[in-house]
Each structure stands twice: as structure tokens, then as C-alpha cells.
């Protein structure tokens, strides 16, 4: 068969068929041509004898391909009218969708994601090859709902040294990301009252409600979650390393008060360590779980360090919850896919994961510094000591967002994160500086700066979401100091 054939008046490309049969190849060519519109409905195809002669194949091969496509509904065949292209109501040819129609902004500074262009493809491929080469045959069978022991063992060591987590392998459950972990815990808690930070991640509240839990808002101030407002909640979900979206870390006194509350009320703390590895002013703050391993369910994920597409997360559970969560996992999806688990275990054991995290920390710190430099000292910016986003305070969210939309810029809105709308709540933009590809980030920053220019700059000392000064490193305070600190080693979704 030639590379191209055009006996029906349309030039159709043929791919080499080293392994596929001639009939299967012809079927694929015709099927694809009908689907993408190169063969219009009603088009009459050549007689089988003629097409066979042009392609250099047997007439039986062409007739069999025609018959197969007639059976599938792509072609019609009637005595005396030959074989024609069928009209398929479900295959309507549309104009190609532009990125705008697909929902992709020209300039993307939305929070919640990493730079997926920085995925360590070469290191992952090496880890994947080694994992497959050394995996036992049973690795391809159904497995332990808690996850592969290789990954649980690797995570045990990594989380201990990098995040200060007490993580024996038997207390780790591998999940398909943070959301599944939160959903499993909600199911196990069986309709409990779950306190969640206000402001916080709206989708996570929906996950808890969908799982049967009752969401109870608990305010956040300059020291993090307000422990004295937890009341009779059975569990609380917190982001202690870098609160989302305000960016404040949980103050040491609040850490102690929170673990004391959990012990006194026989309650559970769910620690969402979504970007705990990325701290810029000092070594990353250790996980809360280390202070109360029997009261804290620690949830982590590879979504921010590697990429959300991997769907790999982990839970380190109090002993009394392991069996219940594993059973819920079994009845949810049996177990998380195995090959990715083995590859991640190899990546961690070879220390390639640590090297990647360190490189990302440097990259994101540079981006943070560029953000602060572009916005200047008169604009209040919070949460800059860590993480992949910052909170830029503005006086009129709607006005700013209208201008941003007109410029093709997408950013987060603080108003979307409150449990309930209300007049007088602080306003701001939640700017994600991890999301854009490296080459697109400077232009996105310029657009953000232009959007904010002309608005009345907020003066005075930086303030928190409740109008009080942020503890530790507030607003732009200390940004230059952080930029000059030597990069430390070590280590949502």
C-alpha cells in the first residue's frame, strides 16, 4: 500500500503497518477519515475491485474491511448504489475549540498546582524501568489495600527524616491523592461533625459533605486555626505548615493547644501537609503529627512535588484507624495502582526525589521573589515564607477580577474560600506562582502588575484576614532576608 491514496477524491494518509494486518490498517484509515470528516457523509467509496487494484491488496481484503465498517455503522451498502459513508449523528464536525473555549487562560496564576513542566521525566523513567525490572510477578496481581510494602517502607524513612513524622510502614495507607484520603476518613468517622478552617478549600468541604460528614467552620487568625472555637467537633482538618489560603503557619502555642484539645475530646486531627516541603526562610517546619502520633492522621501527596497526574498520596494513621481505613479503601477501589507506587519507592530510595524537591524549592523561591519585586513594597502580600501561593490584599475583589479577566489573567479569589459570604470580610487575590510554565511566568507577572496598577495601594503594616498583623513573617516583611538565606538541604493532591 502507498503512503497516500486518493481514489475517492480525498487524500488519505496510510501509516506503516509492520505489525497490523492489511485489512485492519485499511479499516483504521477509513474509520479515522469518517470520524474527522475527511470522508463526507454520502461519499461513495470505490468498488472493492478498483480499490484493491490501486492499493495492491486482494479484493477479499477490501471487501472484508468494507463489511466490518458497515457492521460498525461507519458505512452503508445497498444493492445498486454501492458502498457509501454513513451519516453519524454522534460525530458532528465542529470548529476546533480555542484555548479560551477550553477554559485555559492566557496567563495562569491560579493557586493549587505546581509547574508540571518541571516534572522529572528522566528520573521517573529510570525509576520506572528499575521498578519493573525488579518487581516480583505478584506485583501485577491484586494487592494490599494499604499499598505496596516497598512504597510504605520508603515513605516511612522519608517522612521521618524530612517531615518529622512517626510513620511505621504498618500505619501507612497509600491513596490516589489527598482527596481520596479525606473521603476515606470521612466515611470512617461516619457522619461526624468535622471542623474545617475558615477560610479554606471549598472543594474539600464538599468532599466531607459528600461523605456524610457535617462541616463546622472554625475561624483562622494570625496564629492559625482558633482552637477555642472547635467546640464539640469530632475531627478538625488543618493546614498547619502553610494555611490555605492565608499562608499563616500554625503558631507553636496553637500546636500544643490543638493536640491538647484532641486528647481531651478524644478527637482526630487531620493534617493536610499539602506543600510542607517548600519553606524559604528556614528549614521546613516539621509536621504536627510528630507531637501526637495517636491523635493525628497525616495526609501527604506527590501532587505538589511531582504532579497531580500521578494520583499518589499517603496517610499515616493512628493505630486504631488503620484497619477501618484499609477496609474502606478495599471497598472503594481495592488498591491504588501498583506500578506508580513501585516507581515512587525507587525514586525515594535513590534520593532522586529529595534532589527534585530541593531543585523545586529553589525554583519556587525565585518565583516568589520575582512576585514580591514586581508588586513592590506598597502592596500587602501574605504567606510568602512558604508554599506555592501568596495572598495579595485588595480593597475590591470584583473590580480587580474584572480587570484580570479582560487581560486573560486567571487568579484565585479570597472571597471564594469563606464558608459563607458576608459583608466586611477581608478581600484578596490568591496568587499561585507555582502553576505557570517557567517561560510563561514573567509575562503573567507583568500582567498581574498592570492589573493592580492604578488601584489604590494599601499602606501601613501588613494585616491578616481578621485585620491583625501576621505572626512571624507578615506581608512582604522579611522577603529580602528570606531571599538571601542559603538553601537548606532535605525535604496536597
Per-residue confidence (pLDDT) for residue 468, from 0 to 100:
33
pTM for this structure?
0.74
What pLDDT does 10 receive?
A: 56
Can you tell me the distance from the alpha carbon of 118 to that of 129, in angstroms, rounded to the nearest whole number? 20
Q: What are the residue boundaries of the structural domains of the chain, listed by start?
A: 4-85, 107-113+354-483, 119-353
Residue in 284, 280, 201, 278 with CA at minimum distance from that of residue 238: 201
Q: Are 159 and 167 in contact (CB under 8 A)?
A: yes
DSSP of 112-136: S---GGG--HHHHHHHHHHHHHH--
Is the omega angle on the peptide bond into residue 147 within 30 degrees of 0, that is, cis? no
Other beta carbons within 10 angstroms of residue 438's beta carbon come to: 12
Cα–Cα distances (Å) from 392 to 163, 402, 486, in that order, read 28, 16, 26
**Cell of residue 487, nine digits:** 538553601
Residue 33: predicted pLDDT: 86
* Exposure class string for 11-38: b at 16+ Cβ within 10 A, else e: ebeeeeeeeeebbebbbebbbebbeeeb
| CATH code of the domain occupying 119-353 | 3.40.640.10
pLDDT at residue 11 in the model: 56
* Cβ proximity of 317 and 293 under 8 Å: no
Which option is the CATH number for 4-85: 1.10.10.10, 3.40.50.2000, 1.10.287.990, 3.30.420.40?
Answer: 1.10.10.10
Instruction: Please tell me the CATH code under which domain 107-113+354-483 is placed.
Output: 3.90.1150.10
Tens of pLDDT along the chain (493 residues)? 444 555 555 555 555 444 457 888 888 888 888 888 888 888 888 988 888 888 888 999 999 999 998 888 889 988 777 899 988 764 444 444 444 344 678 999 999 999 999 999 999 999 999 999 999 999 999 999 999 999 999 999 999 999 999 999 999 999 999 999 999 999 999 999 999 999 999 999 999 999 999 999 999 999 999 999 999 999 999 999 999 999 999 999 999 999 999 999 999 999 999 988 999 987 778 899 999 999 999 999 999 999 999 999 999 999 999 999 999 999 999 999 999 999 999 999 999 999 999 999 999 999 999 999 999 887 899 999 999 999 999 988 999 999 999 999 999 999 999 999 776 789 999 999 999 989 999 999 999 999 998 554 433 334 344 333 333 334 443 444 333 333 333 334 6
Residue 375: count other Cβ atoms within 10 Å of its Cβ: 21
Closest CA relative to residue 144, chosen from 334, 354, 348 = 334
- N-term to C-term CA, the chain: 49
Please state, in angstroms and rounded to a whole number, the distance separating the CA atoms of residues 481 and 132: 45
**Sign, CA torsion 425/428/434/436:** positive
Is the bond into 402 cis (omega within 30 degrees of 0)?
Answer: no
pLDDT of residue 79: 78
Amino acid at each position: 500500500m502507498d503512503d497516500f491514496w486518493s481514489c475517492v477524491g480525498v487524500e488519505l494518509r496510510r501509516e506503516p503497518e509492520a505489525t497490523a494486518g492489511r485489512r485492519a490498517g485499511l479499516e483504521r484509515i477509513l474509520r479515522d477519515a469518517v470520524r474527522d470528516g475527511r470522508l463526507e457523509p454520502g461519499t461513495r467509496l470505490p468498488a472493492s475491485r478498483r480499490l484493491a487494484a490501486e492499493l495492491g491488496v486482494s479484493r477479499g481484503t477490501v471487501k472484508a474491511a468494507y463489511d466490518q465498517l458497515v457492521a460498525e455503522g461507519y458505512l452503508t451498502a445497498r444493492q445498486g448504489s454501492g458502498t457509501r459513508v454513513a451519516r453519524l449523528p454522534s460525530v458532528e464536525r465542529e470548529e476546533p475549540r480555542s484555548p479560551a473555549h477550553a477554559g485555559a487562560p492566557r496567563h495562569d496564576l491560579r493557586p493549587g498546582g505546581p509547574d508540571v513542566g518541571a516534572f522529572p521525566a528522566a528520573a521517573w523513567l529510570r525509576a520506572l524501568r528499575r521498578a519493573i525490572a525488579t518487581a516480583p510477578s505478584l506485583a501485577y496481581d491484586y494487592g494490599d489495600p494499604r499499598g505496596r510494602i516497598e512504597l510504605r517502607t520508603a515513605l516511612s524513612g522519608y517522612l521521618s527524616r524530612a517531615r518529622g513524622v512517626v510513620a511505621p510502614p504498618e500505619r501507612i495507607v497509600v491513596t490516589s491523592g489527598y482527596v481520596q484520603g479525606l473521603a476515606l476518613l470521612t466515611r470512617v468517622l461516619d457522619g461526624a461533625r468535622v471542623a474545617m478552617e475558615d477560610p479554606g478549600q471549598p472543594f474539600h468541604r464538599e468532599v466531607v459533605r459528600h461523605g456524610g460528614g457535617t462541616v463546622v467552620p472554625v475561624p483562622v487568625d494570625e496564629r492559625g486555626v482558633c482552637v477555642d472555637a472547635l467546640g464539640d467537633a469530632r475531627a478538625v482538618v488543618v493546614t498547619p505548615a502553610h494555611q490555605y489560603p492565608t499562608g499563616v503557619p500554625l503558631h507553636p502555642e496553637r500546636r500544643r493547644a490543638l493536640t491538647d484539645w484532641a486528647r481531651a475530646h478524644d478527637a482526630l486531627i487531620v493534617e493536610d501537609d499539602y506543600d510542607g516541603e517548600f519553606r524559604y526562610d528556614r528549614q521546613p517546619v516539621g509536621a504536627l503529627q510528630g507531637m501526637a502520633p495517636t491523635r493525628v492522621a497525616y495526609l501527604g501527596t506527590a501532587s505538589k512535588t511531582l504532579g497531580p497526574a500521578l494520583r499518589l498520596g499517603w496517610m499515616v494513621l493512628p493505630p486504631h484507624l488503620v484497619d477501618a481505613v484499609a477496609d474502606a479503601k478495599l471497598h472503594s477501589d481495592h488498591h491504588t495502582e501498583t506500578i506508580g507506587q513501585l516507581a515512587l519507592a525507587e525514586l525515594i530510595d535513590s534520593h532522586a526525589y529529595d534532589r527534585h524537591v530541593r531543585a523545586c524549592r529553589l525554583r519556587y523561591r525565585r518565583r516568589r521573589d520575582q512576585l514580591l519585586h514586581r508588586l513592590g513594597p506598597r502592596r500587602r502580600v501574605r504567606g510568602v515564607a512558604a508554599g506555592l501561593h501568596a495572598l495579595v490584599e485588595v480593597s475590591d475583589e470584583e473590580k480587580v477580577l474584572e480587570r484580570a479577566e479582560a487581560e486573560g489573567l486567571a487568579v484565585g479569589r479570597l472571597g471564594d474560600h469563606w464558608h459563607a459570604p458576608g459583608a466586611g470580610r477581608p478581600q484578596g487575590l490568591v496568587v499561585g506562582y507555582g502553576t505557570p510554565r517557567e517561560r510563561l511566568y514573567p509575562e503573567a507577572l507583568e500582567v498581574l502588575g498592570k492589573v493592580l496598577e492604578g488601584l489604590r495601594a494599601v499602606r501601613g503594616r501588613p494585616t491578616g484576614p481578621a485585620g491583625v498583623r501576621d505572626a512571624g513573617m507578615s506581608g512582604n516583611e522579611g522577603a529580602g532576608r528570606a531571599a538571601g538565606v542559603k538553601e537548606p538541604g532535605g525535604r496536597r493532591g
